[in-house]
Structure 1
Amino acid sequence: MPGYKGHLLGGVLTGGAVLGGLFWSGTYVPELPQLAVLAALVLLGSLFPDVDTDSKGQHVFYLTLAVLDFALILQGYYKWAAVLGLAAMFPAIGPHRGWTHTWWAMLAVPLPLVLLPIWLYGATPKGMAPFYGAAVLGYFSHLMIDRKWS
């Protein structure tokens, strides 16, 4: 099975193809800051299924989350920081290649990206859909590379 570099590459290729196609067709053209967030979500999604085991991908994933959590705290977004901290514990529940390598987890794990902003901040589902889609796309690339669809 590929390591974290293979999964990051899969995320880059999959995310680049889909976002590039949406951009080229004029269906969805995000501004640069939003594009950066979408790219980060694709990459984090591509690493997520393997964060339940000690690996380089796990270290990259959690270092990124720690930096993001710290930035949220510094900016006074304590609710978001708490939610991120809670969500970061979920992969520790279950064995490697357990629930994190399922199609339903691919759809369920990114749901807080849509539901929490709607609930906490009054965001719209349409406004949050690209972020959900990016995380699912990255997750999909991981499962596709691992050929795991339980």
Structure 2
Amino acid sequence: MPGYKTHLAGGLILAAGGLGILFWAGVYWPGFEKAAVLLAIAALAALFPDVDTDSKGQHLFYGALFIGDLGLIAFGRYVWAALLGLFAMLPAVGQHRGWTHTWWAALVVPLPLLLLPPYLFDSRFLGPDWHRFLPYYLAAVAGYVSHLLMDGTLKS
């Protein structure tokens, strides 16, 4: 099975290819800074399916979640900190190459990138500006799917 470097490269290649096609077709160009963020999201999402095992991806994600939880607690956002902790445990609720290696997880796991920002930063839940967050969601889906394709586990 591919290692974390291969998964990182695969996520970057798939996302960069998608951005390149959209740019070439004249459909979308985010600018260099946003493109870098989108590629970083795709790279991180390409590591996510392996958070259910001792891996570089697991260390990266749980380190980031720990820092995020500390920040939420420091700012008195205890409910959000509890929810983050709850969702951080979900990969442990299955075996390796279990639910984290399914096509539906590739669509569901990145949903917070699409749904939470409008809810947190906009008084109208999923108001007219929700589409601004769609590129981040799609970048995460691309990275996640690249992992599943490389592992040959794109299953239901």
Question: Which category describes the TM-score, using the shorter chain as reference length?
Answer: 0.7 to 0.9
- Count of residues paired in the alignment: 149
Asked if residue 130 in structure 1 is aligned to residue 135 in structure 2, the reply is yes
Asked if residue 7 in structure 1 is aligned to residue 11 in structure 2, the reply is no
Residue 113 of structure 1: how far off its partner (Å): 1.0
Judge conservation of contact 1:7–1:142 (CA < 8 Å) in 2. yes
Asked if residue 56 in structure 1 is aligned to residue 56 in structure 2, the reply is yes
C-alpha distance in 1, partners of 2:114/2:149?
23
Runs of 4+ in 1 over 4 A off after TM superposition: 64-67, 70-73, 75-79, 83-86
Counterpart for residue 101 of structure 1: 101
Residue 86 of structure 1: how far off its partner (Å): 4.3
Q: Deviations over 1:21-64 (max 9, x none)?
A: 21222211113332222112101110000011011232233334
Unpaired stretches in structure 2, ≥5 consecutive residues:
none
Counterpart for residue 141 of structure 1: 146
Counterpart for residue 90 of structure 1: 90
Larger radius of gyration: 2
Judge conservation of contact 1:3–1:57 (CA < 8 Å) in 2. no
Which secondary structure state, in structure 1, belongs to the residue aligned with residue 147 of structure 2?
helix
Residue 71 of structure 1: how far off its partner (Å): 9.5
C-alpha distance in 2, partners of 1:144/1:56?
19
CA 1:33–1:4 in structure 2 vs 1: closer, same or farther (change >3 Å)? Answer: same
Counterpart for residue 113 of structure 1: 113
C-alpha distance in 2, partners of 1:4/1:24?
30
Larger mean Cα displacement after TM superposition, 57-66 or 125-134: 57-66
Q: How does 1:19-58 map to 2 (within 5 A)?
A: 19-58=19-58
Unpaired stretches in structure 1, ≥5 consecutive residues:
none
Residue identity matched to 2:18 = V
What is the aligned-residue identity percentage? Answer: 53
C-alpha distance in 2, partners of 1:23/1:64?
31
Q: TM (normalized to structure 2)?
A: 0.80
Which secondary structure state, in structure 1, belongs to the residue aligned with residue 52 of structure 2?
coil
Q: Deviations over 1:71-116 (max 9, x none)?
A: 965x96958x735554333222211111000011111111111111
C-alpha distance in 2, partners of 1:55/1:28?
34
C-alpha distance in 2, partners of 1:72/1:10?
31
